[in-house]
Amino acid sequence: MNAELSQKQRRFNVDEVRAEFPILNQAVNGHALVYLDNAATSQKPQAVIDALVHYYQCDNSNVHRGAHALADRATAAFENARASVASAINSPEAKQLIWTRGTTEAINLVAYSWGRANLKAGDEVLVSALEHHSNIVPWQLICEAVGAKLKAIPVSAKGELDLEAYQAMLSDKVKFVSVAHVSNALGSINPIEQMIALAHEVGALVLIDGAQGLAHFDVDVQALDCDFYAFSGHKVFGPTGIGGLWGKKALLESMPPWQGGGEMIETVSFDGTTFNQLPYKFEAGTPDIAGVIALGAAFNYLKQFDRRELLAHESELLAYCIEKSKAIDGLVRVGEAQHCASVFSFIVKGTHPADIGTLLDQQGVAVRTGHHCVQPLMQNFNIPGTVRASFSIYNSKADVDALFAALDKVLSFLR
């Protein structure tokens, strides 16, 4: 680590970090909140909340088109946030980062812009059997529209992608591969570097659904050599309703706009329209200015830390959770991938996940239950859903202890 970098970073301390997330300092149903639903959405540090408030209190204005001080300040903050986030993922240029409402919209943008322009009857698109619905349905729709075929890469009983099957599925018919960096339901970390390289060997493009990836580790889009990387701000300590799509410059420049309106145009007449340059070609209408600025603040917050320290902390929590779970009779962990992010999905024999979640909430423990928007994966495991506890940087072993103490009480009631 060079001297400049070390001066910007601070040693990780979970108690100090926890104190910077004000929502955690509350009681729920008479118990101290134990928030373990981070894979759904992360909580926000005070710095992010302050950035939102400051924009609305001091700089509220539309961007790019104003001729006054508020517009100038808002535009500067908006584009500085783009530069900050683009730098964090090692984008060659900031204009390769397109603001979207989140991962879902980013995937839809690629499916409808690149897919409609390039896919044709007989082509194949590969996703995996562990994908979130947001990385299945857009491809189903576009494949149905153009006559292409959508295929699913198999998943093992441990929740790992079958790489041999994936390699066998690749052919010159495959034009696009879209896979998750990390499974939202199981935490499985997919071997995306290898998958990208294999896809490129047959001429296929690759989109990585990074909704769960950026939440846990640094992402270098150039090192990955992915063609697109999609993410959501609210899973990485930023606001809801904002996210991004990174793409290789030549691809983005070749793709047609997918929404029309203000900002994305160069000239408009009734004889025809010419379109703006990147990134604005894909950013029709007034953007979520406050959300963008606050997302920039979230990435700046993370810059304080060595992400390897944060990942080590989360990994320690997961290992502690797995060990504690062994004492619970009838508890079955769902998904045991060798490489796994800090997600612990489980069922308890003879109980329903929804009942467990409801009763945990009565004791102040927030988890997620259900199919987690991965119904094909749950069908693959022949279960209706799971209980999912997911950990972030502000969680501690005390939170894990609280989870299992509450679970003991829940099971004593249900059994």
Instruction: Summarize the confidence of residues 104-113 as an average pLDDT.
Output: 98
Question: CATH 3.40.640.10 spans which residues of the chain?
Answer: 50-302
Query: Which residues, in sequence order, are CB contacts of 336 under 8 Å at separation 6+?
Result: 158, 159
For residue range 375-390, list pLDDT tens digits in order: 999 999 999 999 999 9
Residues 75-107: tens digit of each pLDDT: 999 999 999 999 999 999 999 999 999 999 999
State percent of the chain over pLDDT 70: 98
pLDDT band at 118; cut points 50, 70, 90: very high
How many helices and strands in the chain, by DSSP H and E?
Answer: 16, 17
pLDDT band at 2 (very low <50, low <70, confident <90, very high): very low
DSSP 60: -
Q: Are strands 31-32 and 97-100 parallel, antiparallel or unpaired?
A: unpaired
Q: Where are the beta strands (DSSP E) in 92-160?
A: 97-100, 124-128, 149-153
What is residue 4's predicted lDDT score, i.e. its pLDDT?
41
Nearest CA among 175, 168, 165, 198 for reference residue 122? 175
Whether the CB-CB separation of 221 and 246 falls below 8 Å is answered with yes
Q: Which CATH number fits domain 50-302: 3.40.50.300, 3.40.640.10, 3.90.1150.10, 3.40.30.10?
A: 3.40.640.10
**Mean pLDDT over all residues of the chain?**
95
pLDDT confidence of residue 7: 47
* DSSP designation for 346: E
Q: What's the pLDDT score for residue 260?
A: 82
Amino acid present at 125: V
d(CA 364, CA 258): 43
Residue 395 DSSP SS3: coil
What is the C-alpha separation between 237 and 82, in angstroms, rounded? 16
DSSP 8-state symbol, 59: I
pLDDT given for residue 8 in this prediction: 62
Taken as a whole, the chain contains a residue count of 415
Is residue 375 within 8 A of residue 382, CB to CB? The reply is: no
Please state whether 245 falls in left (phi above 0), alpha (psi between -120 and 50) or beta. beta
Does 1 or 290 have the greater pLDDT score?
290
- Pull the structure tokens for residue 270: 């009734």
Residue 120: pLDDT over 80: yes
238-289: pLDDT as tens digits: 999 999 999 999 999 999 998 888 787 778 878 888 887 889 999 988 999 9
Question: Could you tell me which residue, 395 or 266, shows the higher pLDDT?
Answer: 395
Question: pLDDT (tens digit, 9 = 90+) per residue, 30-61?
Answer: 999 999 999 999 999 999 999 999 999 999 99
Stretch(es) of the chain classified as CATH 3.90.1150.10: 3-44+306-414
**In sequence order, which residues have a C-beta less than 8 Å from that of residue 158 and are 6 or more positions away?**
335, 336, 337, 338
Predicted confidence (pLDDT) per residue in 333-343, tens digit: 999 999 999 99
3-state class percentages of the chain: helix first, strand second, coil last, to nearest 5: 45, 20, 40
First to last CA, the chain: 53
pTM metric for this prediction: 0.95
Choices 3.40.250.10, 3.30.70.120, 3.40.50.720, 3.90.1150.10: CATH for 3-44+306-414: 3.90.1150.10
3 state SS of 232 = strand
Any catalytic annotation for residue 373? yes
The sheet carrying 343-348 orders its strands as: 331-333, 343-348, 386-390, 368-370
Q: Could you tell me which of 309, 298, 149 has the C-alpha nearest to residue 233?
A: 298
Catalytic residue among 143, 321, 340, 373: 373
